[in-house]
């Protein structure tokens, strides 16, 4: 009886360790991708993609990718600092280091980005 009880307890313990490790390994990378929600911005005829750490610019219509990437160094309540430029979070003004307004950014969706027509031409 003692032998049967010890064998069953070891079997249950080993299966519980296996299931715990399987659950841990399967959930190890799920939170990384869920935090990457992009905000798309339009500034005159330019398009930008704002993530938590980068401001991407120069949208390519054919490849549907952004070419340049600028690191965000300050993300405060009133502005977002990108290099020597700032984006005012209240009014959407995109300013250079002297405070001169470059343009006013408007929030758009991914579907509002420019697309090619059926023949492959933008116009």
Query: What is the CB neighbour count within 10 angstroms for residue 104?
Result: 13
Q: pLDDT (tens digit, 9 = 90+) per residue, 58-113?
A: 888 888 888 999 898 888 888 899 988 999 989 989 999 888 999 999 999 888 88
Domain boundaries, given as residue ranges, for the chain: 36-111
State the Cα–Cα distance between residues 92 and 114, nearest whole angstrom.
21
Give the pLDDT score at 100: 92
Give the pLDDT score at 31: 55
Give the pLDDT score at 29: 63
pTM: 0.64
Give the pLDDT score at 63: 83
> What are the CA-CA distances from residue 21 to residues 12, 25, 81 (Å)?
14, 6, 42
């Amino acid at each position: 009886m003692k032998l049967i009880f010890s064998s069953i307890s070891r079997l249950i313990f080993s299966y519980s360790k296996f299931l715990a490790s399987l659950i841990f390994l399967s959930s190890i990378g799920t939170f990384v991708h869920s935090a990457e929600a992009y905000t798309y911005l339009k500034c005159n005829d330019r398009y930008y993609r704002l993530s938590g750490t980068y401001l991407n610019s120069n949208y390519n219509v054919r490849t549907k990718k952004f070419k340049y990437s600028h690191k965000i160094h300050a993300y405060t309540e009133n502005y977002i600092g990108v290099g020597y430029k700032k984006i005012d979070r209240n009014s959407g003004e995109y300013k250079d280091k002297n405070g001169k307004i470059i343009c006013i950014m408007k929030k758009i969706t991914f579907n509002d980005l420019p697309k090619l027509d059926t023949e492959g031409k933008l116009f």
